[in-house]
Amino acid sequence: MNNAPIGVFDSGVGGLTVAREIMRQLPNESIVYFGDMARVPYGSKSKDTVISFSRQIVNFLTEKHVKAIVIACNTASAFALSEIVAETDFPVVGVIEPGAKTADEITANNKVGVIATEGTVKSGMYSKVIKSINPDIEVFQKACPLFVPLVEEGLLYDSITIEVADRYLHDLLSYGIDTLVLGCTHYPLIRRTIQKVAGENVSLVSPAYETAKELEKIISKNNIESSLESAVHRFYVSDSADRFKKLASSILPCDIDEVVHVNIEQYG
Amino acid sequence: MNNAPIGVFDSGVGGLTVAREIMRQLPNESIVYFGDMARVPYGSKSKDTVISFSRQIVNFLTEKHVKAIVIACNTASAFALSEIVAETDFPVVGVIEPGAKTADEITANNKVGVIATEGTVKSGMYSKVIKSINPDIEVFQKACPLFVPLVEEGLLYDSITIEVADRYLHDLLSYGIDTLVLGCTHYPLIRRTIQKVAGENVSLVSPAYETAKELEKIISKNNIESSLESAVHRFYVSDSADRFKKLASSILPCDIDEVVHVNIEQYG
C-alpha cells in the first residue's frame, strides 16, 4: 500500500507543473498521471461537466490502486474537490487550499490578487478559502482566458503575452495587491512575464509548489510514505499521446517514454 | 420527411456562422443545432478523437430524424466527413469542399492561403481538395490557434488581435496569395481584422456562406425542400446552456429561447 502511486490529474498538461514539484519534493513517490487532452480545457466549462469529468478520472485512478489523489487543476479543484473527497476513502488534495494558505502567509497589506480561468474565478473558491483563513484579506480576482492558449503556442516571453498580461493585470495592480496567486497550473510557465508586468513588489504564489508540500504532510500524517528506491511514473491521456509528449517535454525535467491512451468516457 | 430538420453540428458556437447562413439562404428549413461545448475545441485534438466525437453527435442527430447533416466545423469535416458519409443514408455536407471550390473560382494567380486550426492544417484536406479541382493552384497553409480564444474573448478588432494576425499572415502574404480561405468557423467573426492585415488585394473566402449554397443544391437535387412556412430551430449542447446562449446571441440575428443539455457520451 505505501508503495502504491499517487494519482495526479489535470485537464491536460498544466498539471505537470504540479507533478514536477511532487517529483522534486517527494522523489520516492511514484505518480500515475492522467491528462484529459480529449476534453481540455476545463476552465470555460460548467461545474456539472467538470464534476462529471473528474469523477470518471477518479474512477480510472482508483482502478490503478493509487493511495492518494492530487487534483492538479484549479478548475477541477474549485468545482469537484468536495464531491471527490466525499466519494473516496483515501486522501485527496486540491491545489486551491495550499495556494490560499501561502497567500495569507505572504501578504503584508492584506490585498491579494488571484488570476485563474473563468470557471475558477466564477466559483469564487480562492476568495472563500482565503477569507476563511483570514477575513481581513481583500481578494481581487481576474479571469485570464488567453494565457493558456498563449502558453500552448509557446509565446512565453513574447511582446503579445506582455501586452495581454498588461491588460489582465491592470485593475488588480491598481488595487495595490502585494501578492498574486497563479491560480491555473499553466501560469507558472509564464511566471517571468507575469512578474515583469506585475513588478518586483508583488510576490507570486505558485500553488504547484505549495500543493507538493501539502501532499508531503498528508502522506506523512497517514504513514503512507513510499519506501521505493526509485519511483516509477506512468502517464495516461484521453487523446493521442503525441501532442501530450511534445508539451510534456517542455515542462518535465525528464523525457517521457510511454504515454498510454485511455477511453475515459467508459469510466462513467 | 421534407419538413424534417437539417442537423448542423460544431465543436461549439463557431458553427453558428454556418447556421446563420443557412437561415438566411434557406429560410424555410428548420435546423437542429448541436454544439459540443463540453469538449470544445476540436482543432488541437487527434483524428481518432474527433471521429469518435463526431459519430456520437451524428447518432444523436439521427435520433432527431434529420434529413441531412452539415458538419459545420472545419476540423470535423477534415477528419470525419468520409467516415460519416459512409455510415449514414442521408446527405452529409462538410465545409471544406464548398470553400475549396470557391477559392478555385476566385484566385487569379493560383496562389491560395488557408488559415485554420492545427488539426485542419495537419489533415492537409484543403490542399488535397483544392488541388483535386485545379492541380495548378499552390496552397499555403497556416495554423492560427490563438484566433479562436481571441474571438471568444471578444477582442474582434483589438490591437492584440491585429498583432497576432500580422504574425500569422506574414508568411502567407510574402508568398503572394490573392485568396485566403477562412478555414475555421470562428474566423468570419474577425473577418474585418483579417482583411485589414491581409490588405484589399486579398479576397477572403468564408466556407460558411459557400456551405449554405452547397446545401441548397443538395436539398434541391434530392427533392427534399421543406414546405414549412416558418422554420423551427432547436439548439442542443453538451455543457451548460448559459455560455452557449451568451456567445450565440452575438452570432445569430435572433435570440435563442431554449437550449437543451444533452449527455453526448451516451450516444457512443
Phi, psi of A144 (to 5 degrees): -130, 65
**CA B189 to chain CA centroid, nearest Å:** 12
From chain B, pick out residues whose CB is under 8 angstroms from the CB of A242: 46
Q: Is the pLDDT of residue B268 over 90?
A: no
* B254 tagged catalytic: no
Domains of chain A: 6-94+209-267 (3.40.50.1860), 96-207 (3.40.50.1860)
In this complex, which of B46, B149, B239 lies closest to A45 when CB atoms are compared? B239
ipTM score of the complex?
0.92
Cβ contacts of A40 on chain B, cutoff 8 Å = 44
List chain A pLDDT tens, one digit each, 268 residues: 899 999 999 999 999 999 999 999 999 999 999 999 999 999 999 999 999 999 999 999 999 999 999 999 999 999 999 999 999 999 999 999 999 999 999 999 999 999 999 999 999 999 999 999 999 999 999 999 999 999 989 999 999 999 999 999 999 999 999 999 999 999 999 999 999 999 999 999 999 999 999 999 999 999 999 999 889 999 999 998 988 998 898 899 888 889 999 999 999 8
Task: Please state, rounded to an integer, the average pLDDT across all residues of chain B.
Answer: 96
Whether residue B161 has pLDDT greater than 90: yes
Q: From the candidates A73, A93, A95, A190, which is the catalytic residue?
A: A73
CA–CA distance, B219 with B29 (Å, rounded to integer): 10
pLDDT digits (tens, 9 = 90+) for B65-116: 999 999 999 999 999 999 999 999 999 999 999 999 999 999 999 999 999 9
Q: Please tell me the predicted confidence (pLDDT) of residue A247.
A: 87
Helix (H, G, I), strand (E, B) or coil at B117: coil
A228 near B CB under 8 A: no
Radius of gyration of chain B (CA): 18
Cβ contact A152–B48 (<8 Å): no
pLDDT band at B20 (very low <50, low <70, confident <90, very high): very high
Distance from CA of B153 to the nearest CA of A (A): 7
Give yes or no for B245 touching A (CB within 8 A).
no
CA A98 → CA A24, A93, B134, B141, B255, distances in Å? Answer: 17, 9, 60, 45, 43
Select the residue from B144, B147, B153 to test the A interface by mutation, using most A Cβ atoms within 10 A.
B153
Task: Provide the pLDDT for residue A182.
Answer: 98
pLDDT at residue number B246:
87
Please name the member of B49, B150, B268 whose beta carbon is closest to the beta carbon of A239.
Answer: B49
- pLDDT of B254 reads 82
Tell me which chain B residue has its CA closest to the CA of residue A266. B265
Q: Is B255 a residue whose pLDDT tops 90? A: no
Mutate to test the interface with B, among A11, A13, A48, A49 (most CBs of B within 10 A): A49
Pair B63, B264: CB distance under 8 Å: no
Stated as kind and residue range, the H or E segment containing B166 is helix B159-174
